[in-house]
Amino acid sequence: MEKGTIQKVSRQVVRTFPEMDGISPTVRAQAGSGAGQYLLTYKGKAALPGGKSLTRIVRVVADDRGRILRISTSR
């Protein structure tokens, strides 16, 4: 996946999950799926009330043009 495409997907992820700003994802090609699909995994921390934090993982399946096909997150 090209660097510009990763940045395009990252901008879309940051709109939904602001705590992922500045996080660079790990990128893997999806095995067994259609050609040109990639899994991007973002790992970050979200601030909670009371000064606590939560580790959040966001998984994004995107095609080689940067279109998000599926997105999921941990709590």
Per residue in 13-69, pLDDT (tens digit) is 999 999 899 999 999 998 776 678 999 999 998 888 998 998 999 999 999 899 999
pLDDT (0 to 100) of residue 75: 73
Q: Which one-letter amino acid corresponds to residue 73?
A: T
Q: Sheet containing 26-29: which strands, arranged edge to edge?
A: 26-29, 37-47, 53-63, 68-73
Q: What is the domain partition of the chain in residue ranges?
A: 3-73
Find the Cα–Cα–Cα–Cα dihedral 18, 22, 26, 27, rounded to 10°.
80
Instruction: List all residues 6 or more positions away from 38 whose beta carbon is below 8 Å from its beta carbon.
Output: 1, 27, 28, 29, 30, 61, 62, 63, 64
The pLDDT, as a whole number, for residue 34 is 64
- The residue whose two tokens read 């899994």 is 39
